[in-house]
């Protein structure tokens, strides 16, 4: 199976704001979709995060989009909507010391995000030749970490531009429940 992981377009929010699962819009999903269509097989199934910034791009790519909540970005709890530079330094330091296990107040850990991503990966239909997955950088990191068997120190540092597409070729057993 060929998986096309796609990060949502630039969110319509000021730079430097923690947005996680805030349901904010995105900028120019149609023009991003026009560029992506050149790289995607015709009629490809599209699965999307329910968050508007991903969903709008998915809907610009296909009339038939399956929504999957497991593709939502990490939940940063009370940090969401705050500027990163106003979040208590001690909390950010605690997160840096325990990237996998730290839970922002009211949010979820990277370990929980990783478990969601693994559950999504296991649910993919191995009979599909290809699928497009419109999601967020955190989920893309977790999925690539899972599929490429990368250590946390590597997959947690992966960077993706807004609207970026990453192709992954999975063996049939990698996408079976």
Q: Where are the beta strands (DSSP E) in 8-129?
A: 46-48, 65-67
Q: What is the pLDDT of residues 90-127, one digit of tens each?
A: 999 999 999 999 999 999 999 999 999 999 999 999 99
CA atoms within 13 A on the CB side of 11: 22
What distance in Å separates the CA atoms of residue 151 and residue 142, rounded to the nearest whole number? 10
**Percentage with pLDDT > 70 across the chain:** 97
List % helix, strand, coil for the chain (3-state, nearest 5): 40, 15, 45
DSSP three-state, residue 93: helix
Mean pLDDT (the chain) is 95
Q: Which domains does the chain have, with CATH numbers?
A: 2-175 (3.40.50.1240)
| Residue 166: both structure tokens together | 């990453």
Residue 153 tokens read as: 């120190």
In the predicted structure, residue 81 carries a pLDDT above the cut 80: yes
Sign of CA dihedral 154, 81, 54, 163: negative
**Rounded Cα–Cα distance for residues 156 and 150 (Å):** 9
Q: pLDDT tens across 122-162, in order?
A: 999 999 999 999 999 999 999 999 999 999 999 999 999 99
Cβ pair 58, 65 in contact under 8 A: yes
């Amino acid at each position: 199976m060929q998986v096309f992981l796609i990060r949502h377009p630039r969110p319509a929010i000021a730079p430097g704001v923690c947005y996680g699962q805030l349901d904010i819009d995105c900028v120019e999903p149609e023009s991003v979709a026009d560029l992506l269509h050149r790289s995607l097989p015709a009629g490809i199934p599209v699965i999307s995060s329910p968050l508007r910034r991903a969903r709008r791009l998915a809907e610009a790519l296909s009339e038939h989009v399956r929504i999957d909540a497991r593709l939502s970005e990490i939940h940063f709890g009370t940090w969401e909507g705050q500027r990163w530079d106003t979040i208590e330094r001690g909390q950010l330091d605690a997160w840096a010391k325990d990237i996998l296990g730290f839970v922002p107040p009211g949010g979820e850990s990277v370990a929980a995000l990783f478990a969601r991503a693994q559950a999504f990966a296991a649910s993919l239909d191995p009979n599909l030749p290809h699928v497009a997955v419109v999601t967020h950088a955190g989920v893309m990191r977790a999925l690539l970490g899972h599929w490429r068997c990368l250590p946390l120190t590597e997959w947690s540092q992966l960077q993706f531009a807004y609207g970026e597409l990453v192709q992954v070729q999975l063996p049939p057993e990698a996408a079976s429940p």
